[in-house]
Structure 1
Amino acid sequence: MFVNGISTLNAQDISSSEESFFGEVQTYSSPILKTYFSDFRKYIKPAAMRRMSSSVKMGVVAASKVLASINITQPDAIIVGTGMGCKTDSDVFLENLLASNEGLLSPTKFIQSTHNTVAGQIALQLKCKAYNMTFVQGAASFETALLDAFLQSISSKNRHLLVGGVDEISKYSNELHQLDGQLKTEQEICNFNLLDYASTGSISGEGASFFVVSGEKSEPSYASVKDIETYNQLDKEGLKNKALNFLKKNELSTDDIDVFICGNNGDVNYDDFYHSLQSDIFSQIPQLYYKHLVGEFYTSSGFAFWLACKILRLQEIPEICQLNNFKPNSSIKTILLYNQYKGRDHSFILLQAC
């Protein structure tokens, strides 16, 4: 499967240039990283935007940008992964339900709060009646959506599939994450020092990443997706074996990996999963991380996928993402992505240069 177009919105100033990764890199002193992009009116009519949650706006804009970048007006499928859906509208609906003593309510907020709202709104904006699917699989939601597109690209190679992941920040979710120890509690925090805090929890983020993929290679192709695998639960030894078997299945060894991108988020309870690979079978390979830039959220791996595609296109590694001092020996041809969330929803994605 070939990636022909890429787009992402998150807490960083994403460069509009094909020749760079970021505009001005954003620094945050809070454990909550909200999306940086704000020019939604350029893509959405004001009347429609008033009824849209943050995730819908991000999803519609990211989808519109990637389609416009390769001059496609109608995708042959819309496939979205989301961990929480339109959480803010869900909160508002439940608040109204309690305030009315479970009486009669306007159904608008409930309709807008379902997980498939983003995919539905994208279809409405595009007037697209093609296959439309939303996957809700925790931290493997984006990977599951990508796997659906991967299978469809095999069965029908000449279709252009719009696939992405999106999640938004919710006030109540953040409060619950704070109580649950999922957010950093240091009085002074800087996102660029995320891995320096010897504490539990991480920083929360939001964003949308969308891609146009196809079974056929084209001139603008960024990368080729060779394989995707997800696992609900793994121990550290099992993780190493799965990683090696994943590479072996694709007739590769660790020596064939030019860049290893992983989802370290600074949580001392769970970053050991990454360390077990980084200090062992991938110890001599350039390692990157990214959640200090965009925060932790269920579909943050969509940004890692965007990052990998850009690296394969530009043939360079953004210094701000480097974990170690190793550099690729030659041209960057193969990138492995690994992510997990709280010890669950492990995923591997293998990309190669076209």
Structure 2
Amino acid sequence: MKTTAAVLRSADPSDDRYSGLRVEEVELLPPGRGEVLVQVAFAGICHSDLSVVNGTRIRPLPLVLGHEASGVVAEIGDDVDDFQVGDHVVFSFVPPCGRCEWCVVGRPALCAPGNRANSEGTLLTGSRRFVDADGATLSHHNGVSAFARHLVASRASLIRIEKTISLRDAALFGCAVVTGVGAVLNSAGVTAGTGITIFGLGGIGLSAIAGARAAGAHPIIAVDRIARKLDLAVELGATHVVNAESDDPVAAVRALSRGGTPAVIESVGSERVLAQAYAATAVGGTTVTVGLPHPERQLSIPAISLVAEERVIRGSYMGSAVPRRDVPRYLELYSAGQLPVDRLVSDVIPLESIADGMRALASGDAIRQLISM
């Protein structure tokens, strides 16, 4: 079938017009064994997408971009018995195989076959289902390729949701919410009364604020350079805010929390901000990083503090989540009004405006833009 997709043909950090990202008509091959065809409803523009566009994260090109989305099942392939046509779904951007050592111990974000498929630009099945007008096969992005009106994905990439849930808001749960809330609950292990600081208030950081409030954390300190993001953090549950443009964030956090909070989350993707987050973490505390800095960047910290202060630095990929377990739980919190993540949506744009959306994200003007298909 024919569909429309945003195809990334070249990645250049100096190209602020994003000329390598083009909306094209492509051919979508039917789903194979273990695969599902989905009509996409909404797709979120995430910094991880921008990182591929500017070359920070290397993926095989050309590829159909996008990894956070919601949609409706339109067709199922052979050996798919857990989904039906008409099901509403969101996506997991690491397709878990369910059999490798990481999957069987409950850490599917580290799934070896799933991450290998993502790196190679294939579905978990090893196939590629997009073909351009010249007959060239296109790679998939994280097994999803959400910036398309239709897509084919492995059944392992899909999470069924209730049809009563807004597909617009549900799209956020594929990355921003599962990563931010998961970093709070799964990676940092925050419980009622735990103090927490979040550095960086994009979609993931603000989701972490909402997740911390739902967990009963206190205090909840939000750090960013943009005033309106700090204002939104207060609406979502932050008890204190620090403007890193005008204040020393480490000194401010330590003053507000009597020496640092037991949990600190960094969601910027900067080794400099990660060092600040570590310095703002209390003795005996845990610093969680969800940002994706350039692979060549190095973190420098006082090595002795790891032992002498029993400190922990932990990475959190996909919120250390089990998506088919956690996404429904987080959606229940959303339905109960405990995760008002609909407030994260700063704009809804058409697919044809994808380059404008990337520019808005790169400038810091946008929090979470959704593409309406």
- Greater strand fraction, Structure 1 or Structure 2: 2
TM-score, normalised relative to structure 2: 0.26
TM-score, normalised relative to structure 1: 0.27
User: Which structure is higher in RCO with an 8 Å CA cutoff and minimum separation 6?
Assistant: 1
